[in-house]
């Protein structure tokens, strides 16, 4: 069932247009603001306790609906899981964002490229073309994990609750990135915990889908697998996996030329990594490790 759910989510992401317009989480942020406004009356409140209360309400609701539908008819629970997985993926279409940036570079519309890069990275960007191309390439590698692979991983482990937990951790970390209170610190810690394992699997997927030797050449050592910051590890490993393709491009073009082709190479690597995940899921399903 996990394999079918992931396949359906990938099909929906590729063929169903305007999904990003449905993936709006304003209601969640309103819920967080409302709940945090009520909690100061409790003397035991701190960042971690507030975060647990905030997340528990949403996760319990998802678990309850999933359990009720599964008990009525297994098919309903399966369809609910697919719906949750599709909604938690993204929220924007990675390939669409990358294609928009690539077209802007082709047309030498660097202002437009910065605009689309800002949508990709979820932060304001205004960089010169050469630096922008590198920033976009690196962020594609990172966004693949936060938009898709991490969601898939936690869905496989915990079902719909896992997918929602991963997305909430990403949303809260992004929403609190400029804050310095205990709640913001707790959100960042939750994100670091939740992303740790899928990040390592993402790195290994890039190594298999790209160049394994070059990937490892960007590591400080095997200890990176458990010690290195997750986001940094994904980026450097992905860049290493792309190293061979970059050398081919460099042979054909001037080194000082804007590496716009590297953006599409990064997207291609992500697609191959997703295929690696699907094949692995298929093998685990066939051997009985997953259902």
Asked if residue 242 lies in contact with residue 234, where contact means CB atoms within 8 angstroms, the answer is no
Each domain of the chain, given as residue ranges in start order, spans: 2-286
Burial class (CB in 10 A: 0-12, 13-18, 19+), 18: exposed
Confidence of residue 47 (pLDDT cuts 50, 70, 90): confident
Query: What is the average pLDDT score of the chain?
Result: 89
pLDDT tens digit sequence for 254-273 = 555 777 888 999 999 999 99
Closest CA to 269 of 259, 261, 281, 258: 261
Farthest-apart Cα atoms in the chain, separation: 66
In the numeric block, which tokens belong to residue 145? 């994990």
pLDDT tens digit sequence for 221-231 = 888 888 899 99
Task: Give the Cα separation of 171 and 290 in Å (integer).
Answer: 28
* Cβ contacts of 65 within 8 Å, gap of 6 or more: 80
pTM: 0.92
Question: How confident is the model at residue 284, as a pLDDT?
Answer: 85
In the numeric block, which tokens belong to residue 128? 């010169």
160 pLDDT above the threshold of 90: yes
Find tokens 């936690």 and name the residue.
Answer: 154
> Using omega within 30 degrees of 0 as the cis cutoff, is the peptide bond preceding 91 cis?
yes
């Amino acid at each position: 069932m996990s394999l079918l759910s992931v396949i359906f989510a990938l099909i929906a992401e590729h063929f169903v247009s305007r999904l990003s317009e449905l993936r709006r989480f304003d209601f969640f942020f309103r819920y967080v603001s409302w709940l945090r406004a009520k909690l100061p009356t409790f003397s035991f409140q701190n960042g971690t306790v507030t975060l647990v209360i905030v997340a528990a309400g949403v996760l319990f609701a998802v678990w309850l609906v999933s359990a009720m539908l599964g008990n009525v008819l297994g098919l309903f629970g399966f369809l609910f899981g697919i719906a949750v997985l599709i909604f938690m993926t993204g929220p924007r279409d990675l390939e669409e964002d990358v294609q928009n940036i690539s077209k802007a570079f082709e047309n030498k519309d660097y202002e437009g490229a910065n605009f689309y890069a800002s949508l990709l990275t979820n932060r304001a960007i205004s960089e010169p073309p050469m630096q922008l191309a590198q920033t976009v390439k690196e962020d594609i590698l990172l966004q693949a994990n936060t938009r898709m692979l991490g969601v898939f991983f936690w869905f496989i482990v915990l079902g719909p609750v896992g997918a929602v937990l991963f997305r909430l951790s990403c949303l809260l970390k992004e929403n609190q990135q400029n804050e310095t209170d205990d709640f913001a610190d707790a959100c960042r810690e939750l994100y670091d915990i939740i992303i740790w394992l899928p990040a390592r699997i993402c790195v290994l997927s890039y190594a298999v889908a790209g160049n394994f030797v070059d990937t490892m050449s960007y590591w400080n050592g095997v200890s990176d697998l458990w010690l290195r910051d997750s986001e940094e590890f994904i980026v450097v490993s992905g860049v290493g996996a792309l190293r061979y393709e970059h050398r081919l491009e460099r042979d054909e073009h001037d080194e000082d030329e804007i590496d716009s082709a590297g953006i599409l190479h990064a997207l291609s690597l992500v697609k191959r990594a997703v295929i690696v995940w699907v094949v692995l899921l298929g093998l685990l399903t066939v051997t009985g490790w997953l259902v």
